[in-house]
Amino acid sequence: MSNLLVQNIKHTNGTTAQSVDTSGRTTVSIMNNDSTYRSDGGTVTQNLVQGLAKHWASIQVGSNTTPRDSLNNSSLTDNATGDYSWAYTNNFSNVGYSQPLGAQSSDGECPAYYGAPTTSGNRCWIFLISNVSAASDNDYLTMSSHGDLA
For 11-50, write each residue's pLDDT tens digit.
788 776 777 788 877 777 677 777 787 878 888 888 877 8
Q: Pick the residue with more confidence: 81 or 94?
A: 94
pLDDT for res 38:
82
DSSP conformation class of 42: S
Residue 42 covered by a domain: no
Whether 75 has a pLDDT exceeding 80, the answer reads yes
Alpha carbons 48 and 60: distance in angstroms, whole number = 30
Residue 37 counted as domain residue? no
For residue 25, the enclosing domain spans 1-30
Spatial separation of the C-alpha atoms in residues 85 and 65, rounded to whole Å: 11
Residues 112 and 130: their CA atoms lie apart, in Å, by: 13
Same-domain check for residues 116 and 69: yes
Give the contacts of 8 (CB within 8 A, at least 6 positions apart): 16, 18, 19, 20
Question: 0.85 cut: is pTM over it?
Answer: no
Mean pLDDT value of segment 126-150:
84
Question: What beta strand segments (E) does the chain contain?
Answer: 8-10, 16-20, 26-28, 36-38, 45-47, 55-60, 66-71, 73-80, 83-88, 101-105, 108-110, 112-114, 121-128, 131-135, 140-145
| Whether 21 and 89 share a structural domain | no
For residue 100, the SS3 value is coil
Report yes or no: 146 and 98 within 8 Å, Cβ to Cβ: yes
My answer on whether 130 and 87 are in the same domain is yes
The radius of gyration of the chain's CA atoms, rounded to the nearest angstrom, is 21
Residue 86 lies in a domain: yes
| 5 against 127, higher pLDDT | 127
- Give yes or no: residues 119 and 72 share one domain: yes
> Is residue 115 domain-resident?
yes
Give yes or no: residues 68 and 111 share one domain: yes
Max CA distance (Å), the chain: 69
Residue 58: pLDDT over 70: yes
Same domain, 61 and 132: yes
Q: What's the chain's average pLDDT? A: 84
User: Is residue 108 over pLDDT 70?
Assistant: no
